Amino acid sequence: MKPRWLHPLPVVVATVIGFQLATAAAGKSYYLTQMTMAVYYAVVAVGLSLVMGYAGQISLGHGAFFAMGGYISALLTTHDLAAWKTAGWVRWLEGMGVLVVRPNLYEVGDLLTVAPWAAFGAALAVTGGVAVVIGFPSLRLKGLYLAMATLGFGLIVYRIVLGNRLLGAADGITGVPEWSLGFGLSVSGRSGVRVSNYYLAWALALGVVVLLQNIVGSRVGRALRAIHDRETAANAMGVNTARVKLQAFVVSAVLAAAAGSFLTHYNQGIGPSEASALKSVRYVALVAAGGMANLWGTLLVSTALNFLSLRGYFGTYDHAVFGVLLIVIIALAPEGPLRPLGEAMRRAWRSVSGGKEAGRGAA
């Protein structure tokens, strides 16, 4: 199978819009902050579209996976290991660069903590393992039963982070260090690097779209579409439906954890609200708004709606707006309101590219 890269037309549109927004907001740091956060939240919705749009499964636990990625990264990069400094394994990990010494933001002295890159890897690994444990029995359920199972998991995670003092309880974890990626780039909300962080968030989002495009265009993607259309028939044709659904669920959960980790380092903190059930419902609403199996639509619509939400345009009715949006779209346009627009754009692109090829042939 040839790798599927980004479709040229949406890339041009997204690049132009992103550049214009960044230029317009360059003098207003709070705009860039909210735009960057909106893109990270959109990554979760794009990953969820793999489960909902292609496998036909509804998950109400992706807010918990997002919070797991953020909390694991925050805990490992802020918990002081200085008491173990003389241990041999600590010196070995410090020599490998897994543990680093950094200044304490709140007290005099230094902290010995896990390096951000190692915490990021641990967050993805732990979240993937939990997704396997949760998904293995849950994905054998169908319809509302699966939704209730994942909702129950999300509520458990929410109560854990809300009542655990090690995780900051209701206050969450603060003082999370920035994450230096090299080449002069760092994941941080500091005013001097907000523009580069905005483009970094979009690079992550586009990379996720490339990954998922290749997945849905592969044998696994064809199996997912077969399961979505008729799971019993797909099983009869030899598709291991349980394994394929679990694979999609784990990939989606890991992508949510990656977005949570990036956003936690960007905001330099995380709170228990990220694991709330309402956040999971919001991600489902965003996937429905962008089109169940429309990666580009989900990315662009999610970014726009998240930005409006972060700007406070919905006020105290924020969660109500997303709930009503979910109900209306599922009732009136179950395939997403942007699908007709996307099909029109694809037809226009084919006609333009076909005309160019015909002109070359005539020449």
For position 157, which CATH number holds? 1.10.3470
Give bridge partners of residue 103 from the DSSP assignment.
110
Torsions phi, psi of 164, nearest 5?
-100, 120
Residue 196 belongs to what domain range? 8-362
pLDDT of residue 14: 55
Place of tokens 């346009």: 333
Q: Is residue 338 domain-resident?
A: yes
CB contact at 8 A, 40 and 129: no
342 Cβ contact list (under 8 Å, min separation 6): 291, 294, 296, 297
pLDDT of residue 217: 85
Coil, helix or strand at residue 174: strand
pLDDT of residue 170: 87
Q: Is residue 240 domain-resident?
A: yes
Count of the separate structural domains present in the chain: 1
Q: Is residue 1 domain-resident?
A: no
pLDDT of residue 154: 92
Q: Tens digit of pLDDT per residue, the chain (363 long)?
A: 555 555 555 555 555 555 555 555 555 667 788 888 999 999 999 999 998 888 888 889 999 999 999 999 999 999 888 777 777 777 888 888 888 888 776 666 788 888 888 999 999 999 999 999 988 887 777 667 778 888 999 999 999 999 888 898 889 998 888 877 755 566 665 655 667 788 888 889 989 998 998 888 888 888 888 877 777 777 777 777 778 888 899 999 999 999 999 999 998 899 999 999 889 989 998 888 888 888 888 888 888 888 888 888 888 888 788 888 778 777 776 666 666 665 666 677 677 766 555 555 555
pLDDT of residue 96: 82
Q: If residue 360 lies in a helix (H) or strand (E), which one and from where to where?
A: helix 339-362
pLDDT of residue 86: 75
pLDDT of residue 122: 95
- Selection from 55, 54, 219, 47 nearest residue 127 by Cα: 47
pLDDT of residue 123: 95
Q: Is residue 3 domain-resident?
A: no
Q: Is residue 2 domain-resident?
A: no
CB contact at 8 A, 6 and 219: no
Q: Is residue 99 domain-resident?
A: yes
Q: Which two tokens stand for residue 251?
A: 């990939």
Q: Is residue 298 domain-resident?
A: yes
Torsions phi, psi of 105, nearest 5?
-75, -20
pLDDT of residue 283: 92
pLDDT of residue 355: 54
CB contact at 8 A, 102 and 94: no
pLDDT of residue 270: 94
Q: What is the SS3 string spanning 45-114?
A: HHHHHHHHHHCCCCCCCHHHHHHHHHHHHHHHHHCCCHHHCCCHHHHHHHHCCCEEEEECCCCCCEEEEE
Total Cβ atoms within 10 A of residue 210: 15
pLDDT of residue 12: 52
> What's the gap between Cα 274 and its chain centre?
12
pLDDT of residue 236: 76
Q: Measured in Å, how far apart are the chain's first and last C-alpha atoms? A: 32
pLDDT of residue 39: 92
Q: Is residue 140 domain-resident?
A: yes
Q: Which two tokens stand for residue 326?
A: 């979910």
CB contact at 8 A, 252 and 50: yes
